[in-house]
Every structure is written in C-alpha cells, then in structure tokens.
A and B are shown apart, each in its own frame.
Chain A
Amino acid sequence: MNKIEIDHLTFTYPGAKEPTLKDLSLTVEDGDFLAVVGNNGCGKSTLCKTLNGLIPHFIVGDMEGMVKIDGVDTREQEIGSLAKKAGYVYQDFENQIVCPTVLEDASYACLNYAVKDYEARGKEALRICGLSSKISDYVWQLSGGQKHLLALAGAAALSPDILILDEPIAQLDPAHADQIYEVLKAWNETYHKTIIVIEHHTEYIAKYCKHVLLLKDGKAAWKLPAREAMRRTEELRGSNIFPPQVTIAAGRMVQEGMLPEDTTLPVNLEEGKNLFEGYLKNRTGCMRQSFVPTEGEQMAAFENVSVKYRAVKGKAPKILDHFNLTIQKGEKVALIGSNGAGKSTILKMMMGLIQPEIGSVLLKGRPVRALSKEEIGEIISLVYQNPEEMFIKDSIREDISYAMRVRKIPEYEKRTDDLLEMFRLGNLSGRDGRLLSGGQMRRASLAIGVALNPEILLLDEPTANLDIATRREVMETLRMLKGITDTVIIATHDMQLVCDWAERIIVLSGGRVIADGTKEQIFADLYVRNQVGIRPPQIYDMGRLIGIENPCFTIDEFLDCFRGECYA
C-alpha cells in the first residue's frame, strides 16, 4: 500500500523566480525507510515540508499538483490531523524544542492535541529513543545527540505513521550517530513507521535505508533500492553525493580493469571483503611515515589544569582533571573525543574564556590569565563552530577588515582584498555572512579568523553540518592557510578531515588525554577506538579486514595494493 503519493507537484516560494520543486511525482510505500539525497538546494527540505502540511498551510507559495497521505489530499486536511500522520525533525532541531524539561517537551504535542494519556505517550516515546533516564532533566543539561533524540521523541509521541528527519547526524560523533540510526531502525521495524531521512552519509544509507530517492533540480531523478542506488556511483557523484568508500574503490577498479566489467559493486565491509580478497596483490601496502615535528618553540601549554562546570544543582562535574598538554609551533593538531569530552573547553581556555581552577594555561610562555582579551586576540584566533556568531558586521568585507581597521593596521584595505581573493569571496564581499551558503560561510569565517595573522588558529568543528562536497571545500580552504598560520588546532568528529589533514591527533576522554600520536598510531589502537567511539574512514577498516599490513587512509593508497606496486 502506498503511504505517500505525490503527483506532479510543483512548488514556488513567494518571491522566488524559479520553482523549487518541479513536476515531482513519487510514491512511498508503507513501512519504507527512505533516504532522500541530492545537491544543496535541490529541494529536499521543501519536499519534506509538503508532507507534513507546512506547505501549503503555513508557508504560502504557489503549489500545483497533489500530495496525498493515506490517500487524502494534504490540502483538505487540517494541520492537526496531518501532524498526527507525519512527524518532522528539523536540521536545526534545537529550535524545535520549546519546553524547558525533557518530559514536558516530549508530551507537549500530545497535550496540545488533547490526547488523554499525554504523559504516558511522552514517556513511551522517550523510552524508545533511549532517554528514559533523562525524563526529569532540563533540556540544557542534554548533549547535542540527546537533544536530537528528544526532538525525535517529541515528534514521535503523537505516534505518526511517518517520521521525517532532516540531516539527523550532521553534528554527531559516530557513536551517537549509530545510536540515532538504531533508534530509527527500531521505529521502522518494531513499530512499523515509515521513515524518511535527508542524508548524505552514504555508509549509513547503505546500512539502514531500504530505498533512496535522488532529487535533481527539484525533480525526482530516480528512486531505487538502497544498495542498487549506492552502486550508481557516477550519478551520485554528479550530485555531490559520495558513495561508501568501498563502493568507490571497487568502481574505480572496474574502470581501471582490475575487476571484471560485470562486478556487482560492494556497499559495505562484508561485501567488500568477499570481493577484494581474491584480487589483493600486495599485502604490505604503502609504507609512509607521517610528519613528526622536531622540538619546536612552545606555543601553548596546559599545566596540571583542572576545571569544573558551574552546576545549577548539586556537585559540579569536572571537565578537565589534572590536564597536561603542550602544543609546538607548526603543529597541525586534531582534538578528538566524543561529545562532551572537553574539546570546546580546551579551546575556550586557550582563549582565556574559561579560567582554570587549578594549574595554568600558557600562551607563548605567558599565562593567559595575565593577558588582556585584546592581546590574546593578536596571538590566537578562534573560529566558532557556528559561523553565524562570527559575523558581527553587515558585510563580509566589513567583517574581515574590522579587526585590522580598529587596530589601525597600515594598508588594511589591501590585506582585506587579498584575503577576499584568497578565500574566493571577491564577488560576495558586499553580502551579509549569514545569508550565504554553508561552504561560503565557512570560508568567510576562516578569512575573518586569520585576518590578524594569528600565530595559533583554533577551529571548532569546521565541518559540522556540511554536506560532503562542502567538507571537501573546507579542507581545500584549510590548505590555503599554509603560509599564514602554521599552528592550527581543530576540534572535530570528522575522521576524514583528521586523516587528510592532521599530523598529530590528541584523543580526549573523561577529561584526560588518552592517546596522542600520528593517525597511524591512533587508529591502530583498538582500545582507544572503542573507548571514545572514534572511527577511521571506511577504507582503513577495509584494508585491515582483508589483511593489508600498513594502513590505508585514502582510496588511492588502497588501490595501490591491487596494482602490486607502491609509489612511496
């Protein structure tokens, strides 16, 4: 039976010249787990908003064609009855939580629709989402992943038959991302909900989803079973979607004639193992050594630092506990660890925003405590996770030049132009940063961050919330930093970024450094991997699984093992 039927849907936002959705037709079966993929701005979110009645009931615009849920036109249903059929979790899910406590928020919708057992419904939804222990907590006490689960519980409490999630794991570490998908799987299999996710993490699509819908320029290009969809590597990459690395690797091997033409491409490790094992020629792999910096000038140091949260109630939890760390000049450091391990705290302490309770933080040998904020600003620069908070002026040019202008740096105009040029922002310079696309925003925030030529640059989650194409763009941008700022510290969950960029990896857990070394050392350490739930790129695990001795971090390195040669 079809749960959703969309018939020649065209939708134009008010004031827009082009329709966002163009003559789109689609059917979704009851009990499906559908991933919607596509370029930025191809209409994924708009499509989802037509399903829960926000379009056309609240977002006025031109809507032609028909959307039917359970065989009834959405235009003929009230928003109330639609909300009971389709629950929606936003990409900026934080803003969708409207009550101060967990249980209240989970049962809020049920209460509003006058469902008698609203509390029980809320509790049940929280239980399925794994938040039973948090029922009486306040929302601000939750971590990012828990907030996401709460938003999901809030949408699911009304027990709609359809759950729609917009980029559910964009900001999560792998362990929390797994958790979200396990919860979704439970909703789908045990509670028979139809799940629709907008997702670009193809490994998750391959593992959990049943079907994939590719949207292209507001039209449905195709809808296929998930595995089959993942094998269409060319078409996906045409839309800036990157299939699982094993699939890409196999695809390239077919192209290069290392695998027969009619090979069915693998989409996960197990299939990959079965396929690749027979063709492996070189078990050693490439022998490379990551750059190990010599003892350089000490830029920043933590000496026996302990710090606590300010608790609203009860005992204050410790974030850092007798923490020691030294950063040398020229290092490219990745700080990794699960959500809440203290990464942001470390960055904030280096900026002097949080003072240590015990111990001291030194910048170039001087305690941060003794420096004024403005002095700190000249040594070190922090690019926030949320670039919107970096934009304080009404144009990017103003934002970049602000710090130089108020410090009366000679020829600041010229340097601003140079930076605009360098970060490819020239034709955007008059725009407000907030109104740019995700990738442009990151570039602009980096340009702002390096305007004062800081000696140390700190980046907090520079790739969170970005699709994979934009992530690559950010990585390119990071390479542009060469020659401006050579000491860079990044707090991140993005292991691809870590592998491609970092020279030193510091793993945090429970307020301590539990590992510190090169990527080869860190990823080989299974204890550390399990402890903090970090996960190397899929291709690394693939290499290990089929017995390649030296680790592969990129597809090229992996392919070399099948060529029987090694370019070291």
Chain B
Amino acid sequence: MHKLTDSILDKFSMDFLRNQVLKNAYGNDDTVIAGLDPRVLLIWYLFFGLVPWFINDVVLLLGLFLFVVLTTRAARIAPLVLFLFCVGVFTQTGYLLVMALFFGGDSSLVAPLLVMTLKVAVVSLASVTVFSGLDPDRLASGLLWFGCPDQLSFSISFAYRILPVLMEEFQNILLSYRLRGNPPKKQGLIGKIRYLGYQVKLIIQAFYPLMLNTAKRSRTTVEALELKGYRYALKNPGVKKMRLAMLKVTRNDGIFIVISVIWAACSVAASAAIA
C-alpha cells in the first residue's frame, strides 16, 4: 500500500504528470488528427460517441473499435492518458462482473458485459481521439462554433495556461511539507496505513497555502482580463465570428469523413455477412 503513495509522489511526480499533460495537449499538434477541422471531428465524435450505444452486434462493434484504435494511434496520445483509459474501462466492467457473479449470475453474463465493455471502449477511445488529439485552442473554437458558452472555451485555454504554474506551486508546497515534516515509519501493516494517512493528510493540508497563493494570483488575472476586454467580448457577437474565422474545412477533412463512412459501411457489411 505504501507503494501507492510512493507512486503518487515519486513515479507520478508532479514533473512527470505535468510533462504528460502538456505533452498530451501540445506535444502532438502536428498529427493528422490535430490538423483536421475541430467541427468535423466533433460531429465525427457525436457519431462514434452515440451510435455504439445502439448497437449490440459484436462484429460491428469490433469493426468500430478497430477504427477508433487507429485514430487514437494517429493522434499520438500520451501513454498516461491511454493507461487511464484502460484502467477506466476494465475496472468499471470487471467490478460489475464480479458483483454479478456474486449475486448468482452465470456465464450468460459474459456476453452482455463484453458488449458493454466494447461499447464503452469505442466511445472512450473516440473521445480520447477528439479531446486529446486536438490542441486546446482548436478544440475551444470548435466547441464555440457549436454554441458552447464562451466561458467554457475561455476556461479551456486558461486551464492550459495556468496548469504548469499551479503544478509547480503545488509541488513546491508539498516539498516544503516533505522536507520539514517527519512522516511515520512505514513498517508493518499499521505503519503503512499510518503512512498512507499521513500522506493524504499532507496533500489536503497543502491546499491551505495553495488556496491563499492562488487567491493572490487570481486577483491580478481577473483584473488583467477586465483590461483585456474579456467581458467586452462576451457582449459582442462580432468577436466570436472573428475567432471562428480561422476554422476551415480542408481536403483532409473530406478524406477523413470518406474513410470513416467507408469503414463503418464495411463493418456493417461484415457483420451482415457473418450473421
């Protein structure tokens, strides 16, 4: 169990985490997926995010799954994100399976759960492709075009701005605790639990200074936003138009749509043939 906290604080060091997140956001802005029009990708996502829920055909689902695996590859997603995806999918359905067996289920359970896992996997990978494959500014513009509030698109781009800063600060504060603190010995089960409790308590306590420091920062930020006309832009529809003017559907988008349609059609044909 102490491995757990070690993994948070050492292997998953703030540096590593920060690096992975930034890599995911900006490290892959030269991929095919990142070059596509965000609007096209969002519509594509609406299809791959919704349709699988209707389908109960394993072959068809497998076909779609293969396709989203390929798009995920093309988007060069950071390993951490893929790892989280796997953990998410398998803990969700695995846990349900164990519990269902516990309540007297039998092998008839496996098929519907497999189908459900596939559904979840297709939908999640599609979302990973779109939301991690696009860089945040393009994603924000795409969402804006579909009528999401400006505040959301501002939040996205601001989040990417502030994340490295916040992480560094949090890292330094945690470090202050670590260097000055004196954690309990982690021998034996009780020691390990105590150590774990100590670490968790430390992370929570670290939010006290972090809150105050961030409050100090956010005052400047908000004043600067006022000066830079943030609120002014919300009232002016022309600004939105200008921001969206950079979105252009290109030939690559067309090719991407065609491939998607053909792939989906082939999957349908395959499933029909096997049935």
Chain A positions within 8 Å of B, measured between CB atoms, are 52, 54, 57-58, 79-80, 83, 87-88, 90, 92, 94-101, 104, 108-109, 111-114, 116, 118, 138-140, 154-155, 310, 312-313, 351, 353, 373-374, 376-377, 381-382, 384, 386, 388-392, 394, 402-403, 406-407, 432, 434, 448, 451-452
Q: Would you list 24 pairs from A and B whose C-beta atoms are within 8 A, ordered by A residue?
A: A57-B226, A58-B226, A80-B229, A83-B227, A88-B224, A90-B224, A95-B218, A95-B224, A100-B26, A108-B228, A109-B229, A113-B233, A118-B242, A313-B23, A374-B182, A374-B183, A376-B179, A377-B180, A392-B176, A392-B206, A406-B181, A407-B182, A448-B180, A451-B180
Among candidates B208, B220, B223, B239, residue contacting A394 with C-beta atoms closer than 8 Å: B208
Q: For window 160-190 of chain B, which residues contact chain A by CB distance below 8 Å?
A: 160-161, 164-165, 169, 172-173, 175-183
Residues of A within 8 A of B15 (CB): 310
Residues of B within 8 A of A140 (CB): 22, 164-165
Task: Sort chain B's interface into a size bin.
Answer: 35 or more
Taken together as a complex, chains A and B put the C-alpha atoms of A183 and B216 apart, in Å, by 29
Q: A95-B218, A98-B224, A101-B137 are in contact. List 5 more A-B contacts (CB 8 A).
A: A54-B223, A104-B157, A109-B228, A112-B228, A138-B26
A402 and B180 contact, CB distance less than 8 A: yes
A111 and B233 contact, CB distance less than 8 A: yes
Q: Which of A312, A381, A390 has the most CB of B within 10 A?
A: A312
**Residue B12 is within 8 A (CB to CB) of chain A in the complex:** no
Known: A109-B229, A434-B213. A389 touches B220 (CB 8 A): no
B223 and A92 contact, CB distance less than 8 A: no
A100 and B181 contact, CB distance less than 8 A: no
Q: Which of A99, A382, A407 has the most CB of B within 10 A?
A: A99
Q: For window 230-275 of chain B, which residues contact chain A by CB distance below 8 Å?
A: 230, 232-233, 236, 238-239, 242-243
B161 and A389 contact, CB distance less than 8 A: no
Closest to A377 in B: B179
Taken together as a complex, chains A and B put the C-alpha atoms of A79 and B229 apart, in Å, by 8
6 nearest A-B pairs in the assembled complex, by CB-CB distance: A112-B229, A403-B180, A112-B233, A96-B224, A95-B220, A109-B228
Residues of B within 8 A of A57 (CB): 226
Among candidates B175, B225, B242, B243, residue contacting A353 with C-beta atoms closer than 8 Å: B175
Closest to A113 in B: B229
A97 and B161 contact, CB distance less than 8 A: yes
Taken together as a complex, chains A and B put the C-alpha atoms of A386 and B263 apart, in Å, by 55
A388 and B216 contact, CB distance less than 8 A: yes
**Residue B19 is within 8 A (CB to CB) of chain A in the complex:** yes
Among candidates B16, B137, B209, residue contacting A388 with C-beta atoms closer than 8 Å: B209
Q: Which of B182, B218, B229 has the most CB of A within 10 A?
A: B229
B161 and A111 contact, CB distance less than 8 A: no
How many Å from the CB of B150 to the closest CB on chain A?
A: 10
Taken together as a complex, chains A and B put the C-alpha atoms of A99 and B172 apart, in Å, by 23
How many Å from the CB of A103 to the closest CB on chain B?
A: 10
Taken together as a complex, chains A and B put the C-alpha atoms of A394 and B226 apart, in Å, by 32
Known: A52-B227, A90-B220. A389 touches B19 (CB 8 A): no
Taken together as a complex, chains A and B put the C-alpha atoms of A350 and B15 apart, in Å, by 17
How many Å from the CB of A219 to the closest CB on chain B?
A: 25
Known: A83-B227, A97-B161. A434 touches B216 (CB 8 A): yes
Taken together as a complex, chains A and B put the C-alpha atoms of A389 and B160 apart, in Å, by 22
Taken together as a complex, chains A and B put the C-alpha atoms of A407 and B242 apart, in Å, by 60
Among candidates A94, A391, A451, A452, residue contacting B209 with C-beta atoms closer than 8 Å: A391
Residues of B within 8 A of A111 (CB): 233, 239, 242-243
Closest to A390 in B: B176
Among candidates B165, B221, B233, residue contacting A114 with C-beta atoms closer than 8 Å: B233
Known: A100-B136, A118-B242. A374 touches B178 (CB 8 A): yes
B136 and A96 contact, CB distance less than 8 A: no
**Residue B56 is within 8 A (CB to CB) of chain A in the complex:** no
Taken together as a complex, chains A and B put the C-alpha atoms of A108 and B180 apart, in Å, by 42
B181 and A92 contact, CB distance less than 8 A: no
A114 and B180 contact, CB distance less than 8 A: no
Known: A140-B164, A313-B27. A83 touches B229 (CB 8 A): yes
Residues of B within 8 A of A116 (CB): 242
How many Å from the CB of A537 to the closest CB on chain B?
A: 32
Residues of B within 8 A of A432 (CB): 212
Residues of B within 8 A of A402 (CB): 180-181
Closest to B218 in A: A95
B182 and A79 contact, CB distance less than 8 A: no
Among candidates B19, B208, B220, residue contacting A96 with C-beta atoms closer than 8 Å: B220
Among candidates A312, A376, A392, residue contacting B22 with C-beta atoms closer than 8 Å: A312
Residues of B within 8 A of A154 (CB): 228
Known: A54-B227, A112-B229, A139-B161. A389 touches B26 (CB 8 A): no
Among candidates A52, A90, A112, A310, residue contacting B232 with C-beta atoms closer than 8 Å: A112
Known: A54-B227, A392-B209. A92 touches B217 (CB 8 A): yes
A392 and B27 contact, CB distance less than 8 A: no
**Residue B205 is within 8 A (CB to CB) of chain A in the complex:** yes
**Residue B158 is within 8 A (CB to CB) of chain A in the complex:** yes
Taken together as a complex, chains A and B put the C-alpha atoms of A232 and B233 apart, in Å, by 48
Q: Which of A52, A351, A374, A381 has the most CB of B within 10 A?
A: A374
Known: A140-B22, A310-B15, A373-B178. A95 touches B227 (CB 8 A): no
Taken together as a complex, chains A and B put the C-alpha atoms of A52 and B229 apart, in Å, by 12
B16 and A403 contact, CB distance less than 8 A: no
Taken together as a complex, chains A and B put the C-alpha atoms of A108 and B233 apart, in Å, by 10
Residues of B within 8 A of A83 (CB): 227-229
B137 and A88 contact, CB distance less than 8 A: no
Known: A54-B226, A154-B228. A310 touches B16 (CB 8 A): yes
Q: Which of A80, A389, A406, A432 has the most CB of B within 10 A?
A: A389
Residues of B within 8 A of A88 (CB): 224, 227
Residues of A within 8 A of B182 (CB): 374, 403, 406-407
Among candidates B206, B208, B216, B228, residue contacting A98 with C-beta atoms closer than 8 Å: B228
Taken together as a complex, chains A and B put the C-alpha atoms of A58 and B183 apart, in Å, by 46
Taken together as a complex, chains A and B put the C-alpha atoms of A193 and B239 apart, in Å, by 27
Residues of B within 8 A of A448 (CB): 180
How many Å from the CB of A221 to the closest CB on chain B?
A: 28
A58 and B223 contact, CB distance less than 8 A: yes
B226 and A389 contact, CB distance less than 8 A: no
A114 and B227 contact, CB distance less than 8 A: no
Taken together as a complex, chains A and B put the C-alpha atoms of A386 and B220 apart, in Å, by 17
B208 and A392 contact, CB distance less than 8 A: yes
A92 and B220 contact, CB distance less than 8 A: yes
Taken together as a complex, chains A and B put the C-alpha atoms of A90 and B230 apart, in Å, by 17
A312 and B221 contact, CB distance less than 8 A: no
Taken together as a complex, chains A and B put the C-alpha atoms of A516 and B232 apart, in Å, by 55
How many Å from the CB of B269 to the closest CB on chain A?
A: 41
